Amino acid sequence: MPASRAFAGRSALFAAVGVMACSTGSTTTTTRVPVTAAPPPARTQPPAPAYNATATAMMRDLVGSRVGTITLTDTYAGLLIRGTISELGLGAHAIHIHSVGRCEPPFTTAGPHFNPDNRQHGFKNPRGWHLGDLPNLDTPASGRLTFEFLLTGVTLRGKNALVDGDGASIIIHASRDDHVTDPAGDSGARAACGVITLSASR
């Protein structure tokens, strides 16, 4: 084979190899990394109620007979009031928290309603209401009633505390509270009283 033809063949071979090298040369590879969403923030726990306190009021009538027991517990939502009463007569009875922890018959020693904001009495009073105001109790024919209330804005040992220097008490009246008339809803005589006594710490 003539030298010129052999040289041309080798040149063509080298050119083909060069084209293959270019076509199969290094390429940039992109790797997709999955994006993970940020975790939600941790749930914030509500603040603990002041001291997580519990108290009891043993209710007695005008002659000293026990007619019920009421417990009060600080919770996240307010002051939880639970009680059982009996022997107070059929029908409606007003119940209020009073500003002094004394229960000497005829229970005037319990003072006025718990009212740190100096407002008038009654949920329906435009100038009300006392923080010691509560819904009425309706005693059934059996004479025994179990009830439960949530009183907001009041605590045992925190803001608007009931357990302070002169304490507080619970009064049940002989008649229904009209939720309007100041200072006690025209609710009649004080029929039963119990001093709010803080329970021992657990």
Which residues are catalytic, by number? 96, 98, 113, 121, 130, 133, 173, 190
At 18, the amino acid letter reads: G
At 174, the amino acid letter reads: A
Smallest CA-to-CA distance from 197 within 165, 161, 169 is with: 169
CA distance 121 to 112: 10
Which stretches of the chain are DSSP H helices? 3-23
CA distance 130 to 114: 7
DSSP string, 97-120: EESS----TTTGGG-SB--TT-PB
Which stretches of 34-153 are DSSP H helices? none
CA distance 151 to 201: 22
